[in-house]
Amino acid sequence: DQQVKQNSPSLSVQEGRISILNCDYTNSMFDYFLWYKKYPAEGPTFLISISSIKDKNEDGRFTVFLNKSAKHLSLHIVPSQPGDSAVYFCAASAGSSNSGYALNFGKGTSLLVTP
Amino acid sequence: DAGVIQSPRHEVTEMGQEVTLRCKPISGHNSLFWYRQTMMRGLELLIYFNNNVPIDDSGMPEDRFSAKMPNASFSTLKIQPSEPRDSAVYFCASSLNTGAEAFFGQGTRLTVV
């Protein structure tokens, strides 16, 4: 039962344009959302996160938007660069500080930024 | 800190053999996670520990899989006996209780033939 869904397996964008990666979730208990980036033969690396008390978080070229009513979040990359080509995973958690946070991941979206 | 360290990086084994994957979390982190990545299922959480205690092992596929964390600096994931369908990349990750951001190792690519 996939609680975090990334319905687009792949996305191709031209360099300099905006990349928009989407993610939906089903568990209303999720209160923290993260995006990870993964290059081949490496582990996922943390990119950006957002708490459920916010609807937007920005870090340089990366912005994450959260729509709680729709149980939807998106990652915007502006402007896209060829080095952004990677697999992007959406993750969500509903943990507590007593037992730690377990991340539930989507299946990932492979982004290709072409020159 | 060197980050999360996993060994081996690659493992090829014959069906029926026992496989042990190893993980050293980041020093000071008190949560440790084992994930499996496959094309079909993406990144699946297998089990996670908090302060060396297993909290949730509902993702462990079956009894052939077991995980231990004997101390704060070491964990193992064992598959016995291994089967071809266990072929995947297995990731270990660690985090602090105070934050949900988990740091991943480079993974172990397991191939069972």
Looking at residue B13, its pLDDT comes to 96
Looking at residue B39, its pLDDT comes to 84
Looking at residue B64, its pLDDT comes to 95
Looking at residue A78, its pLDDT comes to 97
Q: Name which of B57, B45, B1, B46 is nearest B25 in CA terms.
A: B1
Q: Kindly tell me if the per-residue pLDDT of B101 is higher than 90.
A: no
Looking at residue A97, its pLDDT comes to 55
Q: How many pairs of residues across A and B have Cβ atoms under 8 Å apart?
A: 69
Looking at residue A95, its pLDDT comes to 65
Is A25 in the B-facing interface, judged by CB distances under 8 Å? no
CA gap A89, B17 in Å, rounded: 32
**DSSP letter, residue B62:** S
B62 CA: distance to closest CA in chain A (Å): 16
Average pLDDT estimate for A74-103: 87
Looking at residue A6, its pLDDT comes to 95
Q: Kindly tell me if the per-residue pLDDT of B97 is higher than 80.
A: no
